[in-house]
């Protein structure tokens, strides 16, 4: 049974988050960077390390990303997702080449082993689904024209992770090469099956799920999303993809009421997710790795903006939406930390871990800020160009 220290630590963390959320609201910024820095402050090596509440925060972090992606899924129909995945496939290839290659090459340039360089490529490739989902919600961009393209790229990234992670394991500890193709094929088949079932039976399923009792509907929704995430995890697919697909399958009155009922829970556990993210980084490792990490962050921030811009342009999105898509994709997060953890477990050395952790922290903080700041700047520039104050390019 938790003792008084657990409740004191947890209460202190939640109240601190409330203060940070209020501060972010006052200045008109996303609270995500502040939540991440709060996690640094209460983690190992931080100012006030937490001891008894860390296990709860870790579990809450998993719930947070699951709820974030489930509620994003509620915004789209199966046909919309299928069409977007089909049209975004070339953009997914561009995203992979443009963002995996810099990490791989820079890893070799700074003298890392081939295994470490391969993992660094994965770290620079993967955008943060959790941070992007929260940023979309904070900035009220879920209905924008570029958002389906961004989400399609995230789903493609998560599916490719089903092949990448077994390959990483093969390189580090050995294993069967056939598991790579099997994992990817399983992920693709699962997505196709869910889309087919949701397309054919989604309305009937949603009517069955819906209840005019808020308590009954809330419990039903939570049960659905947790089971979907659990099945995805059991099949070695991202829990985020499982939750997103579960949201796709819910429509009509059930989806409308779900947005209202789950919003407070999403906000609470999403904040916990970002705190836990910061908890995993030791502040003492940041200064020695800062130079390399900043160079890597600068290069791959540009490649993510470029690949997002290209993908949105291919989807027929205007200039402002293209830049929104690019800056949204800048943030790295949970998958990158997981890949770094694989490297740590394989004994790839403190230098690799420090560079990876610092790099992820930099872009996890700068990604939401860039999305918030760049949009009005681009809008102002386009407005000035229309008025003839700037030359067209």
For the chain, give me the number of helices (H) and strands (E)?
15, 0
Q: Which residue has the tokens 């054919």?
A: 200
Predicted TM-score (pTM) of the model is 0.74
Of 182, 19, 158, the residue nearest 95 (C-alpha): 158
The residue ranking higher by pLDDT, 4 or 167, is 4
Confidence bin at 43 (pLDDT 50/70/90): confident
Give the number of C-alpha atoms closer than 13 A to the C-alpha of residue 51, restricted to the C-beta side.
Answer: 6
pLDDT given for residue 296 in this prediction? 95
Q: Is pLDDT at 375 greater than 60 in this prediction?
A: yes
- Report which of residues 118 and 273 the model is more confident about: 118
Can you tell me the distance from the alpha carbon of 332 to that of 130, in angstroms, rounded to the nearest whole number? Answer: 9
In terms of residues, how long is the chain? 393
Inter-residue contact 135 to 60 (CB < 8 Å): no
**Banded pLDDT at 291 (limits 50, 70, 90):** very high
Q: For 91-95, 97-101, 184-188, 292-296, which range has the lowest pLDDT when averaged over its residues?
A: 184-188
With a pLDDT cut of 70, the percent of the chain lying above it is 87
CATH fold of 4-369 reads Na+/H+ antiporter like fold (1.20.1530)
pLDDT at 19 (0 to 100) = 93
Quick one: pLDDT at residue 336? Answer: 83
Q: Is the pLDDT of residue 303 over 90?
A: yes
57, 278 Cβ separation under 8 angstroms:
no
Residue 349 pLDDT exceeds 80: no
Confidence of residue 383 (pLDDT cuts 50, 70, 90): confident
Please provide residue 344's backbone torsions phi and psi, each rounded to the nearest 5 degrees. -65, -45
Q: Which residue has the higher pLDDT, 311 or 385?
A: 311
Give the model's pLDDT for residue 176.
Answer: 53
Summary mean pLDDT of the chain: 83
> Do 164 and 307 form a contact (C-beta atoms < 8 A)?
no
CB crowding 192-206: b at 16 or more within 10 Å, else e: eebbeebbeebeebb
Which DSSP string corresponds to 275-295? Answer: HHHHHTS-GGGHHHHHHHHHH
Q: Report the pLDDT value the prediction gives residue 342, as an integer from 0 to 100.
A: 74
Given a cut of 60, whether residue 231 has pLDDT beyond it is yes
Give one DSSP letter per residue of 249-277, joined into a string.
Answer: T--HHHHHHHHHHHHHHHHHHHHHHHHHH
> What gap in Å lies between CA 376 and CA 371, rounded to an integer?
9
Reported as a pLDDT band with limits 50, 70 and 90, residue 130 is confident
Q: What is the mean pLDDT of residues 284-298?
A: 90
Dist CA 70 CA 53 (whole Å): 26
Q: Per-residue confidence at 211, pLDDT binned at 50, 70, 90?
A: confident
């Amino acid at each position: 049974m938790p003792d008084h220290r657990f409740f004191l630590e947890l209460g202190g963390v939640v109240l601190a988050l409330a203060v940070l959320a209020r501060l972010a609201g006052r200045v008109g910024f996303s609270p995500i960077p502040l939540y991440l820095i709060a996690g640094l402050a209460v983690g190992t090596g931080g100012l006030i390390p937490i001891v008894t509440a860390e296990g709860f925060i870790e579990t809450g972090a998993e719930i947070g990303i699951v709820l974030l992606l489930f509620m994003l899924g509620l915004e789209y129909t199966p046909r919309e997702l299928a069409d977007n995945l089909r049209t975004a496939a070339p953009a997914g290839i561009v995203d992979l080449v443009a963002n995996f290659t810099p990490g791989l090459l820079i890893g070799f340039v700074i003298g890392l082993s081939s295994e470490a360089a391969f993992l660094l490529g994965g770290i620079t490739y993967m955008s943060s689904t959790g941070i992007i989902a929260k940023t979309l919600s904070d900035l009220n961009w879920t209905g924008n024209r570029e958002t389906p393209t961004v989400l399609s790229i995230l789903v493609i990234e998560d599916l490719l992770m089903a092949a990448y992670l077994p390959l990483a394991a093969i390189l580090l500890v050995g294993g069967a090469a056939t598991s790579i193709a099997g994992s990817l094929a399983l992920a693709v088949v699962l997505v196709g099956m869910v889309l087919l079932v949701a397309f054919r039976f989604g309305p009937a399923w949603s009517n069955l799920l819906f209840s005019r009792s808020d308590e009954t509907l809330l419990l039903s929704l939570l049960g659905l999303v947790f089971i979907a995430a659990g099945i995805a995890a059991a099949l070695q697919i991202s829990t985020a993809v499982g939750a997103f697909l579960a949201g796709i399958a819910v429509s009509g009155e059930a989806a409308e009421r779900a947005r209202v009922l789950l919003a407070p829970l999403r906000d609470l556990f999403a904040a916990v997710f970002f705190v836990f993210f910061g908890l995993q980084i030791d502040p003492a490792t940041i200064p020695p790795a800062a130079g390399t990490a900043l160079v890597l962050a600068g290069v791959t921030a540009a490649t993510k903006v470029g690949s997002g811009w290209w993908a949105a342009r291919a989807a027929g999105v205007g200039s402002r939406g293209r830049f929104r898509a690019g800056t949204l994709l800048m943030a790295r997060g949970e998958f990158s930390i997981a890949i770094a953890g694989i490297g740590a477990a394989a004994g790839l050395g403190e230098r690799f871990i420090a560079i990876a952790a610092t790099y992820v922290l930099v872009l996890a903080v700068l990604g939401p800020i860039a999305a918030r700041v760049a949009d009005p700047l681009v809008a102002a520039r386009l407005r000035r160009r229309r008025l003839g104050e700037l030359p067209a390019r």
